[in-house]
Chains A and B, each alone.
Chain A
Amino acid sequence: MAQDDHSGSEVAAADSSHAAQDFAGSTGTAVIPYDAFENPGFEPHRPRVTDEEPKREKRAQRTVYTLFYLSVLGSVWAIAAYMLFPIESNDVDAVRLNNMFIGFGATLALLGIGFGAVHWGKSLMTSAESIDTRHPIASSEATRAGAVEVFRQADEESGFSRRTVIRNSLIGALLVFPLPAVVLFRGLAPQDELPVPLLSHTMWKKGTRLALDPSGVAIQASDVTIGSVFHVIPEGLNDLEQGRLEEKAKAAVLLMRLEPNELNPAPGRENWGYDGIVAYSKICTHVGCPVALYEQHTHHLLCPCHQSQFDVANNCEVIFGPAKRPLPQLPIAVDDEGYLVAQSDFTEPVGPSFWERN
């Protein structure tokens, strides 16, 4: 029993405007009323003003070729602009003029052809419409049967479906042969490094001095006044011959000074700062942008990428936004010359979370 609905046979009127039976297939849940309207056929042809008035036709013609000639002018202009607006003077404004005038010439050249061609098509070309017949996309029964016969004959001659061992082993071979190519792509990453240990350590070590970004000059504790923010890199980062940006992407640090009584260090971290000076990783724990915006009075750190906010007074815990983990803190101290130094590396991996982080 049909678990479906209106099959073709239930349609009462063989109405040419709802040619359901022209395209094989059931009509599903479509409703085909027996007294639907019929297609009234084409509307009477309405002539254009350019068809009826020769003067308007002449005007349209003039417009079209004028546009094409303007296009030629545009091309010439663009070439002339290339020569007349040099940019070798180190002057940014010269580049602007060069860009603008070559561009205007090119624009005129292109729009001239474009508008001219469309206007020609709309107002001058004969406006009669073409009518094509659509044929069902599916091939005729005969063609379908022919195709089936081809496959059947090929199957018979090759024994493809009969010789199951040959067939199955072929399928197996075809499935497996791309795998070596896939394995080759392992070479995209270094063979001798593992990601997790690299992610878990930075360049900071006990005694590494905190230095200014980007100059690399070491920072003394007395330099850091209340309300300051220093952008910090490890001393020696700029001297690296290789891997400078990779180390910086983990080692960038923010240095701020608050009144000591405004800070609430977590248990065990009371001596990670120095007299209200605290250092935190600059790399956002969400997806790794630099959390660089520091608000002096609210002690908020804001990441501009996805608006995560961290509270410096409370161990940089997250107070808004999609991040979860607080920014890792760099334990700092002062060496005997008054320079700020790290007490050790960060005690947890910096930057965005990853699966193996625990």
Chain B
Amino acid sequence: MSTVSTRSPAPVKRSFTAGASEYLNDRTGIAVAIKGLGRKAFPDHWSFLLGEVALFSFVVILISGTFLTFFFQASMAEVHYDGSYVPLKGVEMSVAMASTLDISFDIRGGLFVRQMHHWAALLFVAAIGLHMLRVFFTGAFRKPREINWVFGFILFVLAMAEGFTGYSLPDDLLSGNGLRIIDGLVKGMPIIGTWTSFLIFGGEFPGTEIVGRLYSLHILLLPALLVALIGVHVVYVFIHKHTQFAGPGRQPMNSVGPPILPIYAAKAGGFMFIIWGVISLIAATFTINPIWNYGPYDPSPVSAGTQPDWYIGFADGALRLIPPGWEFVWLDRTWSFNILVPLIAIGIFLVLVVAYPFIEAWVKGDHREHHIADRPRNAPTRTAIGAAGVTFYAGLWAAASSDILATHFSLTMEGVIHALQAVTVIGPFVAYFITKRVCLALQKKDREIVLHGYESGRIVKLPGGEFIEVHQPLDEYERWRLVSQESYEPLMLRPNSRGKITVGQRVRASLSRWFFEDRIAPVTKGELEASHSAHH
């Protein structure tokens, strides 16, 4: 793109872009990054974009949040509201609440930015959840990505914490009652409870400190951790390269997809703007967190339908599902199992989630790197465990809306709670059983299709009078997708070098049996030839 000046034999005149690039490269050496990364392949599947949904909504949160910090004041000093919303005029409230009302009613576009911020937050956590489910069900947490799974889990927890601290900032009736519940939860913890509550709130509840402290967490500490961990999380994706689904030409040791520049950049960059646009559309048309209806926090009033934001719902639901009376006094102390049991159950659930990759790796003993994503049906036990986990979470989540379920479906709240207790406790086992059987059946179906082709819908009458449906055999490309999966056997117990079978090995063997006892192996070349010769 350089032009030569025709006037004199002066130095070649270069384009602006070329000049600027050279200036930058002389000072940073950035060309090596462009050369290395610019044409990297990025495997293309819709489910691989879910992490990006989370990332791009996080960008919206950061930018809209920064705008809000210029107007929000995180002080609990009392003031009489003097803004333009009539039903709150003259009402005594904290400065935090008053400034949030000012953002909503007295700053042009303020309500729009506030709604973008809150809707993007809901979308952020939802996208993380869906992304995590995709990673789980495709086994993308296997070596070398176990550490990234752990970081992702930590990001999920941090995102929930960001959301909780964020919606508690306006000091309104809804979030204030949420803080009250947290305070009650903390107080119920053995030994450290009352002191922890005292430290968090700076004395008795509600105190005058909590909004300021949550603000520091919300705009300083937690975003810093989030940004740092997201950075690490994405760098890992570059180092490991993204997984890809099995397909013609896709090998464990290659990575196939559109190059980063220009196609992937166009698609991903465009997707970023689309996510922003979707959030913007929702914020322009749907109300979220109408704090003007809730009014300022006061320990006496409460609204019907008091729920936390959706991602805290599973914890609130767990509290609602505990039957009456799970608390007693023993050795002069109060043991509140109605609070401890939900905490412990959720704690165990979370530990199982974060530890799952390590458990599965131990059971399988497979130390290879895995870069081909599994189809969920090809890992039946894992998929069934995931379905059970989702059912458990869903039961807890649904319980958080037990009163709304009752009014909207004309049920008794007692009936709803009893039904959800059953769903949460028994449901996972039912879901496990059904999912496992469905996966195995789907694998059998895949085998059928490989061996006999798929039903083409053409009916042919044979000379002997018999009707048959013509089965269309698969071409080698279609067939590859159905036969390329890995299959595992249960571990055979053998004594170690000292002639003993350790307890660890026994546990591993029984887990291995549970995982792989029922298995459908993919069709091999030999089987296909055998079935063909059987037919002809």
Contact = CB atoms under 8 A, between A and B. Distances in A.
B464 interface: no
Contact of A19 (B109, B253, B262, B339): B253
Contacts of A100: 284-285
A283 B273 contact: no
* Interface range for A: 35 or more
A213 B298 CA distance: 11
Contacts of A289: 177, 180-181, 184, 302, 306
A95 B323 CA distance: 46
Given A31-B521, A122-B267, A103 B187 contact: no
Contact of A307 (B267, B285, B320): B320
A132 B260 CA distance: 12
B333 A37 contact: no
B513 to A, nearest CB: 11
B319 A287 contact: yes
Contact of A131 (B185, B256, B477, B488): B256
B512 A319 contact: no
Interface stretch (B200-208, B344-352, B373-381): B200-208
Contacts of B254: 131-134
Nearest to B197: A195
Interface stretch (A52-60, A84-92, A155-163, A268-276): A84-92
Contact of B187 (A4, A28, A136, A352): A352
B496 to A, nearest CB: 5
A19 B251 contact: yes
Contacts, number: 413
A228 B267 CA distance: 64
Contact of A246 (B203, B269, B483): B203
B66 interface: no
Interface in A191-206: 193, 195-196, 198-199
Contacts of B366: 25-30
Interface in A95-126: 95, 98-100, 102-104, 106-111, 113-122, 125-126
A321 interface: yes
Nearest to A254: B300
Contacts of A27: 366-368
B184 A351 contact: yes
Nearest to B326: A324
Interface of A: 1-5, 16-20, 22-31, 33, 35-37, 39-43, 82, 85-90, 92, 95, 98-100, 102-104, 106-111, 113-122, 125-127, 129-134, 136-137, 185-186, 188-190, 193, 195-196, 198-199, 213-214, 231, 233, 243, 245-246, 248-250, 252, 282-284, 286-290, 292-293, 304-308, 318-325, 351-358
B403 A307 contact: yes
Given A41-B249, A134-B252, A106 B299 contact: no
Contacts of A25: 143, 366-369
A199 B112 contact: no
A288 B181 contact: yes
Nearest to B521: A31
A306 B266 contact: no
Given A87-B106, A134-B254, A36 B324 contact: no
A215 B346 CA distance: 43
B329 A111 contact: no
Contacts of A103: 112, 280-281, 283-285
